[in-house]
């Protein structure tokens, strides 16, 4: 499916309700990663009902252990388009007997994309049609490719408007979950830091506690390339892989488990709680420079 306005042309797949292309007409640039499997086979998956991995790949819900997969099942599920306009579309995924084998809750997940000039507003709605309280985390994972064919990470900066430094944690490589015992400082100069290969040697940089609500990938001279507004998100990930010509900006409502967490899902830090009959709504915005 294609959405379009005067500035942008955007394509979305029903599989995973995933953005698959962002074309910037003004600059003649494909901004979204093309999913080359040599580096990473996805473009911008929706992470639900879990962001990242759970500890030991299981989750305990009301005393029952369920198996989990990294980033949940939504990214590999076929959504149904329920609304389509020239510059806006919505996609629906509902619970099924198959999803209940790994996640026992009834739910409706609606993903809406809306174009506004040089912006793509991404809205998530999670509805709980049952009487039972449900718990989940949800996140975005868009990968932004570099503008020039031969450009590398060293040709770009990260910019955090209004910030002078940030704190982050990393993934424990043995457990593949978050190491909260070691906290690192990201020093910024004029709100910026260089992007390097070394930055992602231990997977994603994880920023907790809602430290920022705007971030940009900028060209080396400071010119904005692509950014994100993410007000009210408690967690955020920035990720790439070695040699890959892209960087992911990942707004999260909840995140990967901490190393050693084996409590009930209701006890998980930053988990979203949704009572029966309620609807969760959250949105972030991709900005094209």
Indicate the domain borders of the chain.
2-288
What pLDDT does residue 26 have? 96
pLDDT at 214: 98
Structure tokens at 66: 């369920």
Q: What is the pLDDT of residue 279?
A: 98
pLDDT the model gives residue 227: 98
Under CATH, which architecture does the 2-288 domain have?
A: Distorted Sandwich (2.70)
**pLDDT value of position 155:** 97
* pTM, entire model: 0.96
Cα-based distances in Å from 49 to 16, 87, 125, 268: 13, 27, 12, 13
Q: How far apart are CA 75 and CA 142, in angstroms?
A: 12
Q: What is the pLDDT, as a whole number, of residue 152?
A: 96
> How far apart (Å, rounded) are the C-alpha atoms in residues 120 and 251?
14
The 8-class DSSP code of residue 113 comes to: E
Given a cut of 70, the residues of the chain with pLDDT beneath it are none
Q: What's the confidence (pLDDT) of residue 179? A: 97
Question: Chain-wide mean pLDDT for the chain?
Answer: 97
- Peptide bond before 175: cis, by omega within 30 degrees of 0? no
């Amino acid at each position: 499916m294609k959405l379009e306005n005067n500035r942008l042309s955007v394509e979305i797949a029903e599989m995973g309700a995933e953005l698959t292309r962002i074309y910037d007409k003004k600059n003649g640039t494909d901004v979204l990663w093309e999913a080359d499997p040599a580096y990473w086979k996805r473009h911008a998956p929706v992470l639900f009902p879990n962001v990242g991995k759970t500890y030991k790949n299981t989750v305990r819900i009301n005393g029952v252990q369920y198996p989990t997969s990294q980033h949940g099942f939504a990214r590999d599920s076929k959504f149904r388009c329920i609304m389509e306009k020239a510059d806006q579309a919505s996609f629906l995924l509902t619970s099924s007997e198959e999803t209940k084998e790994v996640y026992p809750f009834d739910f409706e997940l609606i993903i809406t994309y809306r174009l506004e000039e040089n912006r793509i507003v991404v809205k998530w709605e999670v509805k709980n049609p049952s009487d039972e309280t449900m718990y989940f985390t949800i996140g975005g994972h868009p990968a932004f490719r570099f503008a020039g064919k031969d450009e590398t990470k060293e040709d770009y900066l990260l910019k955090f408007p209004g910030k002078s430094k940030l704190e982050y944690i990393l993934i424990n490589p043995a457990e593949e979950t978050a190491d909260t015992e070691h906290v690192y400082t990201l020093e910024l100069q004029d709100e910026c830091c260089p992007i390097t290969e070394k930055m992602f040697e231990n997977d994603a940089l994880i920023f907790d506690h809602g430290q920022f609500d705007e971030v940009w990938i900028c060209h080396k001279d400071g010119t904005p390339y692509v950014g994100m507004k993410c007000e009210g998100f408690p967690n955020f990930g920035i990720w790439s892989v070695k040699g890959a010509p892209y960087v992911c900006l990942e707004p999260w409502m909840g995140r990967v488990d901490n190393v050693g967490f084996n409590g009930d899902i209701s006890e998980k830090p930053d988990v979203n709680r949704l009572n029966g009959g309620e609807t969760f709504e959250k949105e972030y915005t991709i900005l094209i420079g």
